[in-house]
């Protein structure tokens, strides 16, 4: 029985991880999305489970195998992801938002397939809810909130703005201009900015190693 008891530094902790893109329907056959594959969130969920945590993975459509150990909550739209996170976050010790939720959705979703008419339609978009921000009032005291930031320019400045605006404990920033890092790759090159002002720059690491670096810092704070 002893062997089956949760061990590891994160034993007894509840961790909610999000991964992947979301899909915003335009009509019954079309949607807007992005290039996220879910690999970094999957690596985080599996690594957290291996450290003994109870892990819930809220995920959009994944382009990589689901992790071992985590309870999976599949979702489609950013609104769906917001609702799934809201229902899990109340008793979480850690929330890691590795997902790339779609920022915009069609203002109107057609109930039937949009047909060609000879004139291309103009799409009206609206913003989706900010999931991290919307959890701010529902976090238990001391919950660690970790965000990601993928930027093309002014990485440090933009990441630090998001750290403050979303009331995060830390934000994992990477540059979309970095070769071999970000969407689709098995590697990542990140800088972790913490609310206490520290910035740690890492070399090119596998997404598993990146997950371990993030979890090491979370463990040290719990
Ligand atoms: N995020 C979120 N809800 C959204 C969009 C993003 O919770 N609707 C989270 C992401 O999962 C990530 C962090 O916020 O952890 C930063 O995401 P990012 O796309 O870099 O920032 P945005 O706030 O969406 O701003 P922008 O895309 O305009 O840079
Ligand atoms: Ca965004």
| ipTM for this model | 0.98
> What's residue 3's pLDDT?
60
Is there a domain that residue 113 lies in? no
Q: Low-confidence residues of the chain, pLDDT below 50?
A: 1
Nearest ligand to the CA of 81 is 1
The answer on whether 166 is annotated among ligand-binding residues is yes
Choosing from 34, 158, 174, 196, which is the catalytic residue? 34
What is the C-alpha separation between 155 and 123, in angstroms, rounded? 30
Query: Does residue 119 form part of some domain?
Result: no
Return the pLDDT at 89: 97
pLDDT tens-digit series, residues 180-198: 777 888 999 999 999 999 9
Domain-embedded: residue 42: yes
The secondary element (H helix, E strand) that includes residue 94 is strand 94-97
Identify residues whose C-beta is under 5 A from ligand 2, the ion: 103
Q: How far is the CA of 102 from the centre of ligand 1 (A)?
A: 9
Quote the tokens at residue 200: 């740690």
CA 14 / ligand 2 centre spacing (Å):
26
pTM above 0.90, yes or no: yes
Whether residue 103 is annotated as binding a ligand: the answer is: yes
- Does residue 106 contact residue 123 with C-beta atoms inside 8 Å? yes
Q: Which domain holds residue 162?
A: 8-106+125-221
Does residue 118 sit within a domain?
Answer: no
Q: Does some domain include residue 3?
A: no
Identify whether the C-beta of residue 28 lies closer than 8 Å to the C-beta of residue 106: no
Mean confidence (pLDDT) of the chain:
95
Task: Please check whether residue 102 lies inside any domain of the structure.
Answer: yes
Catalytic residue list contains 34: yes
- For position 178, what pLDDT does the model report? 81
pLDDT tens, residue by residue, 104-131: 999 999 999 999 999 999 999 999 999 9
Q: Assess if residue 117 is contained within a domain.
A: no
User: Residue 176 CA: which ligand is closest?
Assistant: 1
| 96 assigned to a ligand binding site | no
In terms of Cα–Cα distance, which of 95, 119, 109 is closest to 171? 95
Which SS3 state, helix, strand or coil, does residue 119 take? coil
Q: Check if the beta carbon of residue 41 is closer than 8 Å to that of residue 48.
A: no
CATH number at residue 34: 3.40.50.10300
Q: How far is the CA of 132 from the centre of ligand 1 (A)?
A: 8
Q: How many domains does the chain have?
A: 1
Q: Is 112 domain-assigned?
A: no
């Amino acid at each position: 029985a002893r062997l089956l008891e949760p061990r590891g530094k994160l034993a007894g902790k509840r961790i909610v991880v999000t991964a992947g893109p979301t899909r915003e329907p335009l009509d019954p056959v079309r949607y807007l999305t992005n290039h996220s594959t879910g690999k970094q969130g999957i690596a985080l969920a599996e690594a957290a489970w291996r450290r003994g945590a109870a892990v819930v993975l809220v995920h959009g459509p994944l382009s990589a195998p689901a992790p071992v150990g985590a309870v999976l909550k599949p979702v489609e739209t950013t609104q769906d992801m917001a609702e799934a996170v809201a229902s899990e976050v109340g008793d979480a010790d850690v929330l890691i938002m590795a997902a790339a939720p779609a920022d915009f959705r069609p203002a109107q979703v057609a109930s039937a397939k949009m047909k060609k008419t000879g004139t291309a339609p103009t799409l009206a978009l609206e913003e989706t809810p900010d999931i991290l921000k919307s959890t701010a009032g529902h976090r238990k005291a001391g919950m660690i909130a970790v965000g990601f930031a993928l930027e093309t320019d002014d990485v440090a400045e933009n990441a630090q703005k998001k750290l403050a605006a979303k009331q995060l404990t830390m934000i994992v920033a990477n540059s979309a201009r970095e070769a071999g890092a970000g969407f689709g790759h098995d590697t990542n090159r990140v800088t972790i900015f913490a609310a206490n002002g520290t910035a740690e720059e890492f070399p090119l690491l596998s997404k598993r190693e990146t997950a371990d670096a993030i979890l090491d810092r979370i463990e040290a704070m719990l």
